[in-house]
Structure 1
Amino acid sequence: MTNLVIFCVVFVAYLAYSEACSCLPEHPQTKFCNSHFVVQAKILRRKTINRGQNVVYTVRVLKDFKLDNGGRYSRKQKIYTSASCGSYFELKKEYIISGSINGHRWNTGLCSWNTKTSFLTKYQKNALNLGIYKNNCSCKEWRIQDLLNITY
């Protein structure tokens, strides 16, 4: 009986831990449109802060796909993320990084659209560079499940 109780406690703890850092899948355009910033950036530095709870990355912004700059930020930017469920970036690599801006603080996380630029598909590169994602934020992406649930 005690083995069963121990198993149940461990199993529930495992489920709680595994669900704590998960996100629902979303189309890149949805993530783009729901973000305050979307940039192509090179990772310069990584620093752990707040007793290991957060990480701040210093990046060089190579291209801005959303803000149109307007003098609102510098080309060298700090981007904050959680150490436990945040995003991890390799130093000296280039990424597409998206997230929110609170005051002057840029934040990103596990559920943001963060990917190495080398992993982008040809369509994603074109959608970013030609403004397809930016100019179509009012559009809704359709999933096959949505189409199957349509009643006439």
Structure 2
Amino acid sequence: MYGVAKAHTENFNYVFFGIGSSLVVPGLIALYLEFNKAKRTETSGRANLAHFKTNSIRIPVDLSQCTVTANTWTQVREEKTNKEILFNELIGDSFENRETDNIAVSLVKYTTTVQGQRRTFTSAPVAKDKTTLLMLLEMQKETNIYIDRDGKYYYFDLEFLEK
């Protein structure tokens, strides 16, 4: 009886392994394809930006002529892992000793005349405070704005801030 049960168990393990691996392999293939899709999208985004830059009107920008507007705020973290914070909540002072983050978001604006009309160009939000951003703009001195031929879309080139 022992020999028969052992033989049956061995066959069951092979079947179980076969079923399990047949379920895992498609998942691994899907992960591989998704990773490559994200990689292609990122590469495609850079290629599209490069194409936009080469086929657009380039406007040189003197960064000392730009204005910077900034918003800053302090955000209280919602984490409740610290024992002291939990104790403070019990006694009714829930914000005492809670960790905070200082957040700053700035915009760079540049006004100029393009194709006979006065336009103001605004950058994408930059995650830097106003003082730091002004200093970085002063160090860079100049950049470009790229406008499509229709004048509808533009790209304010602040890639130097990412370095």
The normalised TM-score by structure 1 is: 0.32
User: Higher helix fraction: Structure 1 or Structure 2?
Assistant: 2
Per the normalisation by structure 2, the TM-score is 0.30
Structure having the higher Rg: 2
